[in-house]
Structure 1
Amino acid sequence: MNDTPGWASPGSAPSDGHEPGTSGPAEPTARPDAAQPAQQPENNPQDADSKWSQEQPPPGQWSAPTGAAAPGQTPPPPPPGPGWGTQPPAGPPGGYSPPPGWGGGYGGWGGPPPAAKPGVIPLRPLGVGEILDGAVSTMRTYWRTVLGISLTVAVVTEVLVILLQGFVLNDSAGTEALNDPSASADELTHALGETMLGTTVVFLISLIGTVAATALLTTVTSRAVLGRPVTTGEAWRDARPQVPRLFGLIFLLLLITFGVLAVGALPGILVAAAGSNGGGLALAILGILGAGVVALWLMIRFSLASPALMLEKQSIVKSMSRSTKLVRGSWWRVLGIQLLAGIIANIVAAIVVLPFTFLAAALSGEGVGGFVNGTGDLGWTFLIISGIGSVIGSMITFPITAGVTVLLYIDQRIRREALDLELARAAGVQDYGSRPTPGS
């Protein structure tokens, strides 16, 4: 039994008059003869030492060999029963004081101390709600920098889109051909090609804006985790060396996606070219669906490549490899969090954008009816008013999507690489990770 104060059992300590490991009360080593006088000479200690042990039990804690109380002594107390002793009311036995932050009361401790939280998230593995809350907290706490970056990128992007749609892509003849049931195949093909071209150009412009916003907001979010503010200029200086690589990464991921879809549709295209239009179309649709599943799987595996490239200063290929390593074994979790964040961001953006869109349609030439029927002309009034709504919506979606991606990357590194220790040291948290844990 441990003889630490507070943990020793009754009768196990050497101070009770017998050696450890023996049982029963200690007895004198030699008994006085009955015929000898009861009193011993006071000036002959050697005689006393030869007949009596030098260690005598304390009075009142031992009984005579016959079990009866010695004359002039009180009976010994009853032996201790179960539950002997009492525990301190607010701590474990022995007077041990738990570290600060631990729950009080032995047997009712509150578990490990709470994780340090120098910034917008606690430094431990995160839940889904904590990741979403961290993205929103970053936008709320550092709103000047976050909204300034998002507003600048959204305004520049939307101005380019409006000018492109107003001067180049506003082809009413193509729109009429798509809505005309009697249009010829050549007219439909020409109109469809122009529509696809316009959509692709708008998509690329929006993609450029998204990449720029992601690059800057990644730096802001990484500083927010440490509780350190950052200005727009500082974010740009930190992100600028990696921006060209980030563009290369995004375009490579797009190339992989379209390449996988093209490979899936290729058998159907070949069958249709051989003369079986119906069979070729069905095979192409099935191939595209199957390829879409593969493309989704790849995109989730590479979804953390962007923060890995920006924060670890990695190359394009190395960042993709890092993302694959971090996502391995957590594919469904990463998909669910990314999907949930995208749904929330787009719902909030739609709540903002739709009123502006209907207002723009009401103030345009053919009103809301023309907009709903698809016969309305995309005039400057419609483009400008709906563009204002798109800018406000982008100010919301950029910080949420970029913040969730960065925090998900940090969460995966905490789970796999104990990044919380490095973050705690970077944030200046004292003695992080050195507190004892229960059972250690």
Structure 2
Amino acid sequence: MTETPGWSSPDQQPNQPQQPPQPPPGYYAPPPPGPQPTIKPGVIPLRPLAVGEIVDGAITTMRRYPKLLIGAAAVVAAITQILGLLVQLPFLDDLTAVATLDPNTVTQEQALNQFTDAAVGFLTGTLLTVLLLLIGTVFLSGFITVIVGHAVLGKPVTFAQAWDEFKPRLVPLLGATLLSGLVITVGAIFCLLPGIWLWVMFALVTPALVLERCGVGTAFGRSRALVNGAWWRTFGILVLAAVISWVISWIISLPFGLLGAATTGFSADPTAALSVGSLILSTIGAIIASTITLPFTSAVTVLVYVDRRMRSEGMDIELQRAAGHGGL
């Protein structure tokens, strides 16, 4: 992807063809006065973006590449959610037994043993589910980054082309995601505010690593450099995308939650939520919601990265050249 000079970082020296001799000064006429026409070969205008343009660009990308974005998200969401459900199902009986435990019929030691066994099983299943979600999210975010990179320049792309471009970045991206998650978690443990600050500061690691094809350490440095001086704006856009995604997810999941409650007769028993039918319906709702929200939030993050580069590094000029002289 970095064959196109538009995505190269300022420190990179991409191989570019020999440029023809430049004409003498004064050969070109000066541009006419007044605002210049906006160049928009793809989903966004190639200039610094307003917040609404970033959100609209993410939605437009999903509309223009529905098979790639929504299709890939549906497959990833289905695999991760169904596998997560299958991992959790063996521990439902233990959780139900603990929830319905009668303290008058068992000793304190027996109750503690049952609780420990159920807690260990539940935590094991939860960790496996989180690991599956992490792998699926890493793949999807990197894959979507490639698609958005093409969408910015209005270039067509197939699944095979996007996969070939992303495949060499999968393992580094997984490592970067694990490292980022560890750093943010450590910061959040000491205090919530450092965790939030680190989350925003390293929010652009994925697009930097995938589009610039740099190393993990360099991607962290690039994200920090791009966010530096625009932390609050980046934070606001990311929170806005998260709120929009949460609202969409809630609207989609609500009917399935109501159907799940209906299967138990709207019982007030807390164990009713652990019934197989209720969990299956919740999983279906989560799959549908993730199919919409994951591509949206990933696309917003990539467009924030593009906006920061256009604002701080003048990348809009490079992208305009790339749009006029071939694609990614």
Instruction: Please confirm whether the aligned pair reaches a TM-score higher than 0.5, indicating the same fold.
Output: yes
Partner SS state of residue 245, structure 2: helix
Decide which of 340, 357, 365 is 2:257's aligned counterpart.
357
Decide which of 57, 68, 88 is 1:165's aligned counterpart.
88
Q: Distance in 2 between matches of 1:421 and 1:322?
A: 19
Question: What TM-score does the superposition give when structure 1 sets the normalisation length?
Answer: 0.62
Report the Cα offset of residue 181 of structure 1. 8.9
Counterpart mapping for 1:336-347 below 5 A: 336-347=236-247
Matched, 1:122 2:45: yes
Equivalent AA in structure 1 for residue 98 of structure 2: A
Partner SS state of residue 267, structure 2: helix
Structure 1 residues 196 and 260, CA gap change in structure 2 (3 angstroms): farther
Partner SS state of residue 229, structure 1: coil
CA contact (8 A) 2:46 2:316 kept: yes
Q: Distance in 2 between matches of 1:334 and 1:181?
A: 51
Q: Counterpart in 2 of 1:322? A: 222
Question: How many residues matched?
Answer: 291
Counterpart mapping for 1:76-91 below 5 A: none
Report the Cα offset of residue 260 of structure 1. 3.5
If you compute each CA radius of gyration, which structure gives the higher value, 1 or 2? 1
Counterpart mapping for 1:15-414 below 5 A: 99=32, 111-166=34-89, 168-170=90-92, 172-177=93-98, 182=103, 187-262=114-189, 264=190, 290=191, 292-363=192-263, 366-370=264-268, 373-376=269-272, 378-414=274-310
Report the Cα offset of residue 176 of structure 1. 4.6
Q: Distance in 1 between matches of 2:193 and 2:97?
A: 35
Report the Cα offset of residue 223 of structure 1. 0.5
CA contact (8 A) 1:211 1:247 kept: yes
Equivalent AA in structure 1 for residue 289 of structure 2: G
Q: Distance in 2 between matches of 1:411 and 1:126?
A: 6
Q: Distance in 2 between matches of 1:181 and 1:327?
A: 55
Report the Cα offset of residue 161 of structure 1. 1.2
Partner SS state of residue 329, structure 1: coil
Matched, 1:421 2:321: no
Partner SS state of residue 389, structure 1: helix
Report the Cα offset of residue 224 of structure 1. 0.5
Equivalent AA in structure 2 for residue 240 of structure 1: K
Q: Distance in 1 between matches of 2:214 and 2:270?
A: 46
Structure 1 residues 391 and 194, CA gap change in structure 2 (3 angstroms): same
Q: Distance in 2 between matches of 1:181 and 1:407?
A: 55
Q: Aligned-residue CA RMSD in angstroms? A: 2.4
Report the Cα offset of residue 348 of structure 1. 0.5
Q: Deviations over 1:246-277 (max 9, x none)?
A: 11011111222333355x3xxxxxxxxxxxxx
Segment drifting more, 396-405 vs 147-156: 147-156
Report the structure, 1 or 2, having the larger helix content: 2
Question: What TM-score does the superposition give when structure 2 sets the normalisation length?
Answer: 0.81
Q: Distance in 2 between matches of 1:248 and 1:377?
A: 36
Q: Distance in 1 between matches of 2:31 and 2:222?
A: 40
Q: Distance in 1 between matches of 2:68 and 2:124?
A: 35
Report the Cα offset of residue 147 of structure 1. 1.3
Partner SS state of residue 266, structure 2: helix
Q: Distance in 1 between matches of 2:91 and 2:320?
A: 52
Equivalent AA in structure 2 for residue 230 of structure 1: V
**Structure 2, unaligned stretches of length 5 or more?**
1-29
Structure 1 residues 377 and 349, CA gap change in structure 2 (3 angstroms): closer
Q: Distance in 2 between matches of 1:261 and 1:196?
A: 21
Equivalent AA in structure 2 for residue 115 of structure 1: T
Q: Distance in 1 between matches of 2:273 and 2:245?
A: 29
CA contact (8 A) 1:116 1:429 kept: no
CA contact (8 A) 1:121 1:134 kept: yes
Equivalent AA in structure 1 for residue 56 of structure 2: D
Partner SS state of residue 376, structure 1: helix
CA contact (8 A) 1:303 1:323 kept: yes
Q: Distance in 2 between matches of 1:145 and 1:415?
A: 29
Q: Distance in 2 between matches of 1:391 and 1:407?
A: 25
Equivalent AA in structure 1 for residue 71 of structure 2: G
Partner SS state of residue 375, structure 1: helix
CA contact (8 A) 2:99 2:271 kept: no
Q: Distance in 2 between matches of 1:162 and 1:203?
A: 11
Structure 1 residues 345 and 181, CA gap change in structure 2 (3 angstroms): farther
Partner SS state of residue 114, structure 1: coil
Partner SS state of residue 169, structure 1: helix
Structure 1 residues 185 and 159, CA gap change in structure 2 (3 angstroms): closer
Q: Deviations over 1:346-374 (max 9, x none)?
A: 210211112112213323xx33325xx42
Structure 1 residues 410 and 194, CA gap change in structure 2 (3 angstroms): same
CA contact (8 A) 1:367 1:376 kept: no
